[in-house]
Structure 1
């Protein structure tokens, strides 16, 4: 059976091994207030609610600027994709940056890291929409305590293919893995995606009206999911109709054809072989056993994974308002900017 399940999405994505968690955020933020926060009252908004759908934008855990102030992680990799809007990154390894408008961040929490991810509203004269996917890709047990690491995939450098069809074009951005001969950049060193036999793939697919896209048969044991996140009309997936804002769970060993209707569609593809190891997860930590999980919490209480080098832990930490997209590593010793 090609279609295993179809789910309507309201924030969290129903994915599984090798993925731990997936989240889709779409916030229609208003104009900024000149201080990177919203030019709007926060009265009546419940802070700390990641998926509160009673409003069309959320503050998450930020008090003045939307986002997630400093918090720990251990034992897995985070893939953050931002098609619209911006994020400001800070971490306990002395790295910081700003990315967005199509950029992707790969970050391995490894043995433990603190990081903050805030969503600065940089425009004071127009709305600041944010569209963000955050995917937690598990690490195998042998790699869970490897050194934390992260790198940027700037949108100008993400391998992209434009495929002209009779009725329009399909654009494929390969974030991990290979699609239609488009090979993604190298994954992080200890990632499950490092071994091609694990068939880890993440891609963004932009289909114009009346075009088709085909996922090939790869492996009967592979888990495969596709999120239809942007569009106004349902699309055809094999013999089924898929509505916007829905996710389909697909057979990895079957060829699957997607067909757009009278309008275009944007898709997120997530796939990979399962790691097939026990999972003990609670909050920000993902380990193999309950004992390892307890050890993670104990080490964080004692060491704070090296501590927070950026001052007030409770502040909504962001870069300068007019900062460009950039990544700074090891307290500024290494700078990475798009096109350089």
Structure 2
């Protein structure tokens, strides 16, 4: 069976950046930093730093127009994998307006004295330390954090804009150009099962991951 778990995380753009040129960044697994916590009982929690900073670790830069590229946005995306009973504490966010959501997709955790079960999201106070304790089966958690953009949102299907008129314009643009021009003759091209991982960029560059470039952190008590 296919054991891959896939999350599609949508991040809004401020109105001033919604019409910027498209930009694509591939974050290879080998380049994403991981920090290993050992609690007082020696139980392990592995924190993967997808966006933002954590324990001095910083992942590759996001696209330049992304909300995550602005320090004042206080964006952080973490994947936490906790052994049964393991404890780890998330430190307060930098900004007073920052919102923080925990999504538990495996096992369960105790967060701020509240039990959060599998397939459950919980909004936690980002201004306070957030101790997480895994249940008896362990846990996997996504932590999503950012300061709200504070602008109107209009959304339909895959289109997210600020007004209904902009949504209609996005529909018209898509019908006319297919998001700027689709270079393949089918809507679902494949590259064959024998082709390894690669990223093909708009400027013609083809990028392949360097499997030797691992940035995993050593275990540390914290």
Quick check: 2:25–2:62 contact (8 Å CA) kept in 1? Answer: no
> SS state of the match for residue 213, structure 1?
strand
Quick check: 2:153–2:161 contact (8 Å CA) kept in 1? Answer: yes
Corresponding position: 1:197 with 2:72: yes
Cα distance, 1:282 vs. partner?
1.2
- Deviations, residues 115-163 of structure 1 (Å, cap 9, x unaligned): xxxxxxxxxxxx2233110011000011000111111111111011112
Corresponding position: 1:207 with 2:82: yes
Trace 1:1-340 onto structure 2 (pairs within 5 A): 127-165=1-39, 166-218=41-93, 219-231=95-107, 234-313=108-187, 316-330=188-202, 333-339=204-210
Distance 1:261 1:293, change over 3 A: closer
Q: How far apart, in 2, do the equivalents of 1:300 and 1:261 lie?
A: 46
Cα distance, 1:180 vs. partner?
2.5
Aligned pair count reads 209
Higher strand share: 1
Per the normalisation by structure 1, the TM-score is 0.58
Q: How far apart, in 2, do the equivalents of 1:338 and 1:273 lie?
A: 32
Q: How far apart, in 1, do the equivalents of 2:181 and 2:200 lie?
A: 18
Runs of 4 or more consecutive aligned structure 1 residues displaced over 4 Å after TM superposition: none
Structure 1 residue runs without a partner (length 5+): 1-126
Quick check: 2:47–2:80 contact (8 Å CA) kept in 1? Answer: yes
Higher helix share: 2
Q: How far apart, in 1, do the equivalents of 2:60 and 2:5 lie?
A: 22
Q: How far apart, in 1, do the equivalents of 2:68 and 2:102 lie?
A: 18
Distance 1:303 1:257, change over 3 A: same
